[in-house]
Amino acid sequence: MIDEEELSLYREQKDLKRNYRDNFDKLKQAKVAIADATNNIEGMKQQIVFDFERWYAEEFEIPAGGDLGGLSSTLLTYQGGAGAGATEKDEDDEADAYLRAKKNVDTLHRAKKLEKMRPGGYKK
């Protein structure tokens, strides 16, 4: 048999448990919302960096497609390219190879940056 005091304590316990479960569910929902916001922030940061790098490359870098505007001989000199006897086609091929290699290196650096930004990411 349960007396009235035990019954009231039992009901209070049930109410407290229900309240706890409700608050715990709210906490889980808040954690999910925070994780989503954090992921959105990280994605936006990556997009800003990508957009800036694309803009910078368009604005200040050598244009892709081989049109070097007279800079091919300078690039080839620094890359150990063709000497004085090279044809214009050789210079363009080597300049294209240089630009492809530079793009690959830039992509690698960008990937490393993005990996560092991830929690528990790239550590060296």
pLDDT (tens digit per residue) in 4-56: 999 999 999 999 999 999 999 999 999 999 999 999 999 999 999 888 888 88
Radius of gyration of the chain (CA): 31
Task: Measure the CA–CA gap between 64 and 98, rounded to whole angstroms.
Answer: 11
Report pLDDT digits (tens) over 55-69: 888 887 655 554 444
